[in-house]
Structure 1
Amino acid sequence: MTATYAARPATFARPPLTTQLLTDDMAFAALAPAWGRLHRRCATATPFQSHAWLHSWWQSYGRTGRLRVLLVRSGRDLLAAAPLTLTRLPFPALVPLGGTVSDYGDVLLDDADDGRALAALTDALWTAARTTLIDLREVRAGGAAERVYDRWPGPRRRVPDSLCLELPPVPMDELLTRLPSNKAQRVRAKLRKLSALGVTRHTAGPGEAEAAVARLLELHRLQWQGRKVTPEHLRPRFKEHLVRAVEPMVRSGDAVVTEFRIGEEVVAVDLTLLSPSLAGGYLYGAHPSLRERKADVAVILLDACAAHTAEGSHGALSLMRGDEPYKHHWRP
C-alpha cells in the first residue's frame, strides 16, 4: 500500500530588518532609485516626499552636518524612511526635510508592510527622541506619520498646522455644480473669455521644464511687483531649488509644468505637483497684461488642474496651503 500526503508548504525566513541613520550628503543622493521605488509604493506620499524634491531642497537649504535620514531595509529593499534634519533653536529637534517651501511633510512607509517596518521606524525615532524633539509638522490627514504617532510609546501631542483645502478629483464641469447657478454661469463666461482671447496650453516636456520654471519665476516676480509677495519666492536659492527639482519630477510624473500662451507669447506658467493621493497647483506666474485683458487667472489655473484630476489617477484636487477667500468660492 502506498500512501500519499500533501506536501507541506515551503517556509521561507523573512530577511531581518535593518535600520540606519544616514547623515552623509552623497549617500542621500545615491538613494534616488530605491527612494523612488518606496515613494511609489507609499499611497499616502505627496510630491514633497519625492527624492528629487527633498534632495534639491537639501542642496539649497540644508546645513552641513544636520542631515538625519532614518532608513528601514529588508535586504536591499527600502521599506520605510523618515527624511529629517536637525535644528538647534530654541532646542534640539528633528524636523522634516523640505522646510517652509513644502506644503506637506511626512515619512514614507511601504503599503505592503506587515507592521514590522512601521515598528522599526518608530523604534528608531524613539531612540532619536532621547536627545531631541521629534517634530513632524504639516502632515496631511491620513499620512504615514499618523501611524507612527498611533504607536508612539512616550509623550506625544497633536498640534494644528496650516490649512490645506481640497476639492474632489472631478472635471471642471462637475466642479461648477458646487457653485450657485449664477456664480457657475460667471465662471463659464470666464472660460469662454479665455477661448476668445486665444489662450492655449503647452505642457513642458523633459528638457523644457527648467526653462519653463525660470519663466514662471520671472512672471511671478512681475505679477507681484509693487505688492506684498512671499520673499522666499524671489530669492536665488529658491529658484535654484525649484529649477533643479522639477526636471526629474517631470520625468517621473511627479510634476507637470504648463505654459499658457496667446499666440507665441507665454502669458502664464503653472507648476502642478502630482501623486496618487493628490494633484495641486504649487506655484504660478502670470503676466500683468492678463488682468488688463480681464482674464481670470484663478479660473485658468483651476481648469488646468482639474484636467489632471479628471483622469482619475489622483485622490484629490488640492488647493494647497493657505486659506485665501477665493478658494472658499468652490466650497472645498
Structure 2
Amino acid sequence: MSTARENFRSSVCRDSREFEQLAGDWGDLQRRCETATPFQTHAWLFSWWTAYGVPGRLRVVLVHRQGRLVAAAALHRVRGLVPVLTPLGGAITDFSDVLLDDGCPGAAEALARALAGLARSAVIDFREVRPEAAVGCLPALWDGPSRILPDSMCLELPAVPMADLVARMPSSRAQRTRAKLRKLDAAGVEHREVEAAEVPAAVERLLALHQRQWEGRGVTPEHLTGRFAAHLQRAVAPMVADGDARVTEFSIGGQVVAADLTLVSPRLAGGYLYGAEPALRERKIDVATLLLRHSAQQSSVNGQSTLSMLRGTEPYKNHWCPQRVGNRRLLLARRRLLPALAVLTAQIRGRIWARDTVHSWSRRTQQRTVGAPVRAGSGPH
C-alpha cells in the first residue's frame, strides 16, 4: 500500500522480517524525535512483537520523504467487539507514541493521512500517552472524530543528585532518609553497570531476584513467564549498547544482592524493574533508597531532566514527594466508525469509573480502620 503527496510516500509494513530490517532507519528517526521514550526504540518494539504478536496483525505505518524515514507508528490489529489498531508494547509498556522527525515540517500531517488510510475498519487506540508525546498533535490534524481520555497516573522527580531530592522533603522525612543512606554506606554496597554482552545473564539474575523479593506477596504474573524473560533479554542488550537502557547490579561482599533495569532517553530515565534479596529487609537496608540514589546520580550526570517512577502511585513512591503526571488515551476514528468509537469510549469510561470507585472505597476503608488520612495512591491500581 502506498500513496504520495507533497513529496511524502507512505506505506504499511505487515511482515515481521521487513520490520526487523528497519532497525537502522528506525533508530535514526528515533534520535531525531526529541520526545521519544525508550519504549519507542526498535529493539523494544520488535522484541515485544516477537514475544507477544499475533501473525498477520502487524501494521507498521511508515512515512518517507526523499528516501528518508520521517514518521512511523508501530501498530497491530486487535479483534474484539470493536476492532482496534493499537501500538505494539501492550501492558508491559509504560508509554506509547509515534515517531516524528522534528526537522521535517509536514511529517505529522503525512502520518495522519497514512493512519486515516489504515483506519477504514478499526478505531486507532493509543494507550499511555505522555503529555508531551508526539502523537498528541494528531487529534488536531485528524479528519474525523477523536476522543481524549485519562489513563494511568505516573510519578516523576527532577533528575538531580540525591542530596537535592532529600532537600525537597519535609524535615522529618529527610532526616529518616539520610539515616537510610548512612546505613547503605555502612553496609558497603557496591555497584557495577552491566555491559551489553552480559545482559542476557544479568536479566536472568534480575528476574530471579525479583521473584524471590515478591514471593508470597503478589508478584505480577507476567514477570514470571518465559516470554517476558525472553523479551527483556532480546530487547535490553541492544538498548544497553545504544545507551537506551542501564542494567545495574549491586553487591555486598562480592555477592549480587539487587539488580535494576532503567530505561533511558535524552529527556527521561525510568526505573522499569528491579529485584532484591529478601534478606536485605532483615538487615534494614532500604532497596528503594539504594536504587533511587544511583539512578538520580546517573541521570543528573547524563543530562536527563526527568526521573520517572513510571506508572503507578504506590505509597513508597510518594515518600519522595514526586509530581503526579497523568498519561492520556487517544482514540481516532473515521466518520463511518463513529458508532464503534462511541461503544469503545463508553467501555473505557465504565472501567475508569469502576477503578476510581474501588480506589475511593479502599481509601475510606483504610481511614476507618487506621483512623488517619491515607496518602494518594494507596489503593489498588
Short-chain TM bin: over 0.9
Answer yes or no: is 1:72 the counterpart of 2:54. Answer: no
* Partner Cα distance (2:303, 2:169) in 1: 24
Cα deviation, residue 153, structure 1:
1.7
Select which of 139, 147, 155 maps to 1:165.
155
Aligned equivalent of 1:98: 89
State whether residues 279 and 317 of structure 1, in contact with CA within 8 Å, keep that contact through their aligned partners in structure 2. Answer: yes
* Partner Cα distance (1:99, 1:121) in 2: 22
Aligned equivalent of 1:216: 206
SS of the residue aligned with 2:86? strand
Cα deviation, residue 260, structure 1:
0.4
SS of the residue aligned with 2:85? strand
Aligned equivalent of 2:171: 181
* Partner Cα distance (2:213, 2:67) in 1: 48
- Whichever residue aligns with residue 311 of structure 2, its letter is R
State whether residues 220 and 285 of structure 1, in contact with CA within 8 Å, keep that contact through their aligned partners in structure 2. Answer: yes
Select which of 111, 119, 130 maps to 1:121.
111
* Partner Cα distance (2:56, 2:192) in 1: 42
Aligned equivalent of 2:264: 274
Aligned equivalent of 1:200: 190
Identity, % of aligned pairs? 56
Aligned equivalent of 1:136: 126
Higher mean C-alpha displacement, 200-209 vs 45-54: 200-209
Aligned equivalent of 1:3: none
What's the CA shift string for 1:146-193, capped at 9, x where partnerless?
A: 011221121010111111111111111111111011211111111110
Aligned equivalent of 1:111: 102
* Partner Cα distance (1:15, 1:119) in 2: 11
Aligned equivalent of 1:44: 35
* Partner Cα distance (1:134, 1:197) in 2: 51
Structural mapping, 1:182-331, within 5 Å: 182-331=172-321
Answer yes or no: is 1:22 the counterpart of 2:13. Answer: yes
State whether residues 279 and 308 of structure 1, in contact with CA within 8 Å, keep that contact through their aligned partners in structure 2. Answer: no
Higher mean C-alpha displacement, 151-160 vs 29-38: 151-160
Paired residues, number: 318
State whether residues 259 and 269 of structure 1, in contact with CA within 8 Å, keep that contact through their aligned partners in structure 2. Answer: yes
* Partner Cα distance (1:228, 1:312) in 2: 35
SS of the residue aligned with 1:20? strand
State whether residues 169 and 312 of structure 1, in contact with CA within 8 Å, keep that contact through their aligned partners in structure 2. Answer: no
SS of the residue aligned with 2:80? coil
* Partner Cα distance (1:90, 1:185) in 2: 54
5+ residue gaps in structure 1?
1-13
Higher mean C-alpha displacement, 204-213 vs 79-88: 204-213
Aligned equivalent of 2:26: 35
What's the CA shift string for 1:26-57, capped at 9, x where partnerless?
A: 00000000000111111100000000000000
Provide TM-score, normalisation by structure 2.
0.82
* Partner Cα distance (1:214, 1:312) in 2: 27
- Whichever residue aligns with residue 263 of structure 1, its letter is G
- Whichever residue aligns with residue 72 of structure 2, its letter is A
* Partner Cα distance (1:260, 1:32) in 2: 32
SS of the residue aligned with 1:43? coil
Cα deviation, residue 76, structure 1:
2.5
- Whichever residue aligns with residue 304 of structure 2, its letter is H
State whether residues 282 and 320 of structure 1, in contact with CA within 8 Å, keep that contact through their aligned partners in structure 2. Answer: yes
Higher mean C-alpha displacement, 151-160 vs 97-106: 151-160
Provide TM-score, normalisation by structure 1.
0.94
* Partner Cα distance (1:277, 1:152) in 2: 28
**C-alpha RMSD of the superposition:** 1.2
Aligned equivalent of 1:6: none
Larger RCO, structures 1/2 (Cα 8 Å, 6+ apart)? 2
- Whichever residue aligns with residue 223 of structure 1, its letter is Q
5+ residue gaps in structure 2?
323-381
Over 2 Å off, 4+ runs: none
Select which of 59, 72, 84 maps to 1:81.
72
* Partner Cα distance (1:25, 1:289) in 2: 44
* Partner Cα distance (1:35, 1:324) in 2: 34
